[in-house]
Structure 1
Amino acid sequence: MDRASPVFVISVAAELAGMHPQTLRQYDRLGLVSPRRTAGRSRRYSMRDVEQLREIAQLSADGVGLEGIRRVLGLEDRVSELEARVRELESALADEMLNRPGRRVFAAGTEGEVITLRAGTRTRRETAVVVWRPLERGDD
């Protein structure tokens, strides 16, 4: 069984989360925790849902309102999606580097141009100092 498997009926999920079943129904109506439904339309909660219910209880105890809780949960879901995407891109990059050793690397030049580099080489860094002074009023 994984965390996302919908296995708990509402009474068991409520007990695991330390809540009343009616609270779970209310959270479902509000869209805070949306369990899967069986063919007969009864709710089935996963361990992930129970963990989310516990988090809602903690946020509520800390004084966060339901709309704030909805936003926190949405942002946490977005972070999870982005972390998965980063892992996917890192894996693709690692595969590309293994499959194409010695490929060229690119960098941006000082004027925005693309500079081609051999793998393992670095660009020359400019050591010039640039002084910027804002225009005085009336100099426009």
Structure 2
Amino acid sequence: MVGLHAQTLRYYERVGLVFPSRSGGRQRLYSMADVDRLRKIKTFTDEMGVNLAGAEVALKLIDHITELENQVETLTNEVVRLRAADDGMTRNNSIRR
């Protein structure tokens, strides 16, 4: 699927770049997230000329950016919820007066 040799996949697992699950017979099972990660590694190393250490740093940065984007989305939703609640309380207080 990715065009990488089995030995390369084993090496990537050994150095901690991917973490495939295992079947009952100890066969490696790669998730779609693993496949996507392997494609990114291949792009960094083959097409962009980045060494494996650089690819690892880039992947960590991408993971961190994704995590931060999720936090921003969560916080944005919370701000919207709190503003809506505050608007509701302000309207209720105005009506009571």
Sort the TM-score into its range (normalised by shorter chain): 0.7 to 0.9
Moved more, 49-58 or 72-81: 49-58
- Mind listing any 5+ residue stretches in structure 1 that lack a counterpart? 1-15, 104-140
**One-letter amino acid of the structure 2 residue matched with residue 74 of structure 1:** K
Which structure: larger Rg? 1
For the pair 1:34 / 2:19, whether they are aligned, the reply is yes
Q: How high is the TM-score relative to the length of structure 2? A: 0.81
Equivalent position of 1:90 in the other structure: 76
Counterparts of 1:1-140 in structure 2, within 5 Å, are: 16-38=1-23, 41-61=26-46, 62-101=48-87
Equivalent position of 1:132 in the other structure: none
Tell me the distance in 2 between the aligned counterparts of 1:89 and 1:39.
41
**One-letter amino acid of the structure 1 residue matched with residue 62 of structure 2:** E
Deviations 1:7-60 (Å, cap 9, x if unpaired)?
xxxxxxxxx111112111110001111122345543221111111111111111
Indicate the SS of the match to 1:17. coil
Q: CA deviation at 1:102?
A: 7.3
- Mind listing any 5+ residue stretches in structure 2 that lack a counterpart? 90-97
Aligned-pair identity in percent equals 42
Aligned residues: 88
Equivalent position of 2:93 in the other structure: none
Query: Runs ≥4 in structure 1, deviation > 2 angstroms?
Result: 36-43
Moved more, 48-57 or 78-87: 48-57
Indicate the SS of the match to 1:31. coil
Higher strand share: 1
Tell me the distance in 2 between the aligned counterparts of 1:81 and 1:39.
32
Deviations 1:62-107 (Å, cap 9, x if unpaired)?
211111111000000000100000000001111101111178xxxx
